[in-house]
Amino acid sequence: MVVSSAPGKVYLFGEHAVVYGEPAVPCAIERRARVSAEARDDDRIRVHAEDLSLNGFTVEYSDSSDGAPDVDAAESLVQAGIGYIDAAVEQARDAAGEPDAGFDITVESEIPLGAGLGSSAAVTTAGIDAGTRELGVELSAEEIAERAYRAELEVQNGEASRADTFCSATGGAVRVEGDDCRGIDAPDLPFVIGFDGGAGDTGELVAGVRALREEYDFAADTVEGIGDIVRSGERALAAGDVEELGDLMNFNHGLLEALGVSSRSLDQMVWAARDAGAYGAKLTGAGGGGCIVALDPTESTETALRYTPGCEDAFRAELDTDGVRVEER
Ligand SMILES: Nc1ncnc2c1ncn2[C@@H]1O[C@H](COP(=O)(O)OP(=O)(O)O)[C@@H](O)[C@H]1O
Ligand SMILES: C[C@@](O)(CCOP(=O)(O)O)CC(=O)O
Ligand SMILES: [Mg+2]
């Protein structure tokens, strides 16, 4: 059995726009998904994932049936639940040249699901690493990033950037622009995260931005404007200018809001952070619900968020310089 882990991330700048070739800067954070993979004698896949839940389901059975209950959970729900793990297993089989390899998989994660902290990329990246190692193949972080990207692309119906998966595979702060992915130097940033307890559907939110961009030239300009913010942000990052980073994060949030991917609770948390004296705050990831990220070296933002209606949890996050890694074998 092999256990691998990979970190989640926050976007300092550039989510959504990165899908259209603009640059983005995600930073890995010290919250990990752990995936264990144990080869089976047959070609079946068994997945145990405690954090996955369905909001109710129907079971149909009768005395005369052959005993196998027919669980009526919508195919799309099941697919949303296990899609990334399934795609990771496919990548591991492909990398090892063992298309019929079976696995017992267990997923444990400190990253809330669908909340913009890159749980899908962490699970996919760790899954590919554990699966390939269990089959005796060792891939570089770059090779895992490439395969995890292909897996996300498939699950998200052809709509994904390389940002989340590259960041999760290599750790640290990274810059992604199209196919160009690289690690960058970043000062220790005082990240504070607010979580509304909710989630957004990455595929749907990306499709919404695509539709706006196709309908209105000004929406396409807004996406390009986010690219300009990222380029300014890179300079502020290199200079270690946290105040300017905060201003640019505020601007980035405004443009994401204009593109329709924020929500009332995300906006409430962003404003609570700003009122508490954070350098800046923005939603992170696909949006729709989930998390915001603020910069504040003091306790003020975390405390303020705890008393903010709509905020369920607030915590500090440290930059994780480690990417995907083996935990046990
Ligand atoms: N702990 C987990 N166990 C199993 N699957 C997970 C886990 N965490 C994330 N996933 C997968 O990732 C999906 C969420 O990914 P996504 O919508 O991209 O949000 P995000 O990447 O922002 O967290 C879940 O629906 C599930 O398929
Ligand atoms: C919206 C997007 O830019 C980031 C999505 O991040 P997350 O899955 O919400 O953590 C999509 C992508 O880059 O693939
Ligand atoms: Mg994701």
Tell me what ipTM this predicted complex has.
0.97
State the catalytic residue, choosing from 86, 164, 196, 296: 164
Q: Which of 12, 13, 15, 153 to mutate to test the pocket of ligand 2 (most atoms within 8 A of CB)?
A: 15
> Which bin fits 58, alpha (ψ -120 to 50), beta or left (φ > 0)?
beta
CB neighbours of residue 81 within 10 Å: 17
Residue ID of nearest Cα to ligand 2 atom 14:
160
Checking if the pLDDT of 262 tops 70, the result is yes
Checking if the pLDDT of 110 tops 70, the result is yes
113 appears as a binding residue in the annotation: yes
Checking if the pLDDT of 317 tops 80, the result is yes
For residues 117-127, average pLDDT = 97
Q: Which residues surround ligand 1 with Cβ inside 6 Å?
A: 33, 49, 51-52, 80-81, 83-85, 107, 109, 113-121, 123, 202, 285-286
Contacts of 47 (CB under 8 A, 6+ apart): 82, 85, 105, 106, 107
Q: Which atom of ligand 2 is nearest to the CA of 156?
A: 14
Give the pLDDT band of residue 81 (cuts 50, 70, 90): confident
> Angle formed by the axes of helices 202-215 and 217-239, to 10°?
120
130, exposed or middle or buried, with CB in 10 Å at 0-12, 13-18, 19+? buried
Residue ID of nearest Cα to ligand 1 atom 21:
118
266 appears as a binding residue in the annotation: no
CA of 85 to the centre of ligand 1 (A): 9
CA of 62 to the centre of ligand 3 (A): 39
For residues 139-156, average pLDDT = 95
For residues 305-327, average pLDDT = 97
For residues 14 and 309, what is the distance between their CA atoms, to the nearest angstrom? 27
CA of 24 to the centre of ligand 2 (A): 11
| Secondary element (H or E) of residue 93 | helix 75-96
Q: What pLDDT, on the 0 to 100 scale, is given for residue 159?
A: 84
Dump pLDDT digits (tens) for 13-60: 999 999 999 999 999 999 999 999 999 999 999 999 888 776 666 666
Checking if the pLDDT of 134 tops 70, the result is yes
Give the pLDDT band of residue 73 (cuts 50, 70, 90): low
Checking if the pLDDT of 169 tops 60, the result is yes
Q: Give the ligand with the smallest distance to the CA of 155.
A: 1
Q: What pLDDT, on the 0 to 100 scale, is given for residue 200?
A: 92
Q: Give the ligand with the smallest distance to the CA of 33.
A: 1
Checking if the pLDDT of 67 tops 60, the result is no
Q: Are 123 and 88 in contact (CB under 8 A)?
A: yes
121 appears as a binding residue in the annotation: yes
Q: Give the ligand with the smallest distance to the CA of 19.
A: 2
Q: What pLDDT, on the 0 to 100 scale, is given for residue 55?
A: 61
Q: What pLDDT, on the 0 to 100 scale, is given for residue 50?
A: 83
Quick one: DSSP state of residue 2? E
Structural domains in the chain, sorted by start:
2-53+73-185 (3.30.230.10), 191-317 (3.30.70.890)
227 appears as a binding residue in the annotation: no
Checking if the pLDDT of 68 tops 80, the result is no
For residues 203-224, average pLDDT = 96
- Of 119, 118, 140, 120, whose CA–CA distance to 129 is shortest? 140
For residues 281 and 253, what is the distance between their CA atoms, to the nearest angstrom? 7
Q: Which atom of ligand 1 is nearest to the CA of 33?
A: 1
Q: What pLDDT, on the 0 to 100 scale, is given for residue 228?
A: 98
Q: Which atom of ligand 2 is nearest to the CA of 159?
A: 14
Contacts of 199 (CB under 8 A, 6+ apart): 112, 113, 114, 115, 288, 289, 290
CB neighbours of residue 288 within 10 Å: 22
164 is catalytic: yes
Q: What pLDDT, on the 0 to 100 scale, is given for residue 64?
A: 55
Percent of all residues in the chain with a pLDDT value above 90, rounded to a whole number = 86
CA of 290 to the centre of ligand 3 (A): 12
